[in-house]
Chain A
Amino acid sequence: MSTPGNDDPTVPVGAPRAAMMAALREGKGGLDSVARAGRACVELLPVDGVSILMTSGTEPGEVLFASDEVIDRVESLQFTLGEGPSFEAVGTHRPVLVPDIATDPASAWPVFATEISQLPVGAIFAFPLQSGAIGLGTIDMYRRRPGLLTHDELVIALEIVDVMTQILLGLAGTGRDADIGYVWLEDLPHHHAVVHQATGMLIAGHAVSARTALSRLRAHAFVTGRLIEDVARDITTRRLRIEEIQT
């Protein structure tokens, strides 16, 4: 059953959802579901990599799944800079579709756009995952070849967003697809812990708010050309003293 405008009569609308659900049912639930759904996404769309992030407060936070090193690097870069398409998607509650990062004027994340030119990323698509007013995370896709998603591809992407949202809700124990599986807090990635610890040290050392402390950490990382996790690790192991971070 094909839909008008669907060039491929063998892919009915609803098939992406069915394909993802089939992949999920074979899994162990919890984070395994996130990974399976992420991998299914790379199969279903003309993209080279996918990552799924959880929001923490009002920002994109921990990476739950990254399909390759490139997208993992993209996320580290966004987290280091505190800006990027995922940040914009979370802030505006709308998808951020960038067909060609090299040439599009990225007004919301100029520094990120410059830094990312070192990576083989042509197009980026960031979709917020939300339940009503609550932001749960984002699903980010990249492709080496620039270009937009077609209308049909966008339809598939939005179906994937819907399934992924249910998976994240499932992690909290609320998903309507009950066999996706609840996950314990301890099992969720906590890779940013060292960054939060370093933030705490800065809060005490500089007598500033958490927000200011994180900004200074990010600024130092950017100026020294390093990822924020690495700077944070140096701070918590005292290889880098708090006094060396600019106020």
Chain B
Amino acid sequence: MTVRHVLAASLWVALLCSLGQIARAESAPDALQWLQKVAAATRKLNYSGVFVYQGGGKSETSRIVHVAENGRDQERIETLDGSPREIVRDGNDIKCYLPESRLVVVERRFRRQNFPSLLPEGIGGLTDHYVIHRGMPARIAGYDTQSIVVEPRDDLRYRRQFWVDSQTGLPLKAGLFDEKGEVRETFAFTELKIGGTVEREALKPHSRLAEGEWRVHDIRPKELGHEDDAWALKTLLPGFMRISTMKRPTRQDSPSTTHMVFSDGLAAISVFIEPLPTGHAKPETGAYAMGALNVYKRLLGEYLLVAMGDVPLVALRKLTDGIELKKK
């Protein structure tokens, strides 16, 4: 069959070439419906399980518990390998426990009107920048799944694939792939229970985290209106909308950092603009990888701009290089 596979592939290539200009590829409507189902499932279902995450050259196993009731959801993720880190979320309040540094970071996200997060019109908008279609079904962690493939139409986005439970739409496995088709990140459940009740105890941080001295760093931001900030965006990435702008605390002696969040509905970019303390050595700038995310740092006068996201570097560069101070 291998020869036939090869022949089949060469036939497609041959026909593709001879057909000349390929008409704009269409997304399959049922695949789009699956995405909507997925968005709802992640928010609204109770589930608990163990998953393996691979990203940035590392691989580790974690447990997750998620409970949704009365319009509010709670979640806890604890790593099972290495240092026992946790993220505990109650609605929009988030605490990250980092035992290696005895640090608890307290964060809050903003209440959004629309759950599920992908608005109906947002899904439609996705097809402007992605081709979305069904992939092959698979069996994962004992569940029958459908797969949805999301291909970018340009070089500003990465390819993604989701394997979702055929019954509920909950993602059991997901992958993020770069321009060459190499894996940047995957997660996959190895055990999963969907629905049913979840023990309240499972949502609380581990008792070991209550012991000893912990530093608490509160990074909760204050939301700004989009026009309130001092920054002009000269380059807009097609499909990416600015979702929110906020100010967050930095060091005690300096003014706060501006944080802008952009998304195209699937990928997300944050840009942090931090005033540099006077007399400070110039920080390093350039392109970095941080796990599965890319990071781009740029100096602009007395400010350091840091952009990060699950998008190719070219997208981060374009966006960040186009940021300027508004003229007073």
Q: Do A and B come from one complex?
A: no
Chain B interface residues (CB < 8 Å from chain A): none
Chain A interface residues (CB < 8 Å from chain B): none
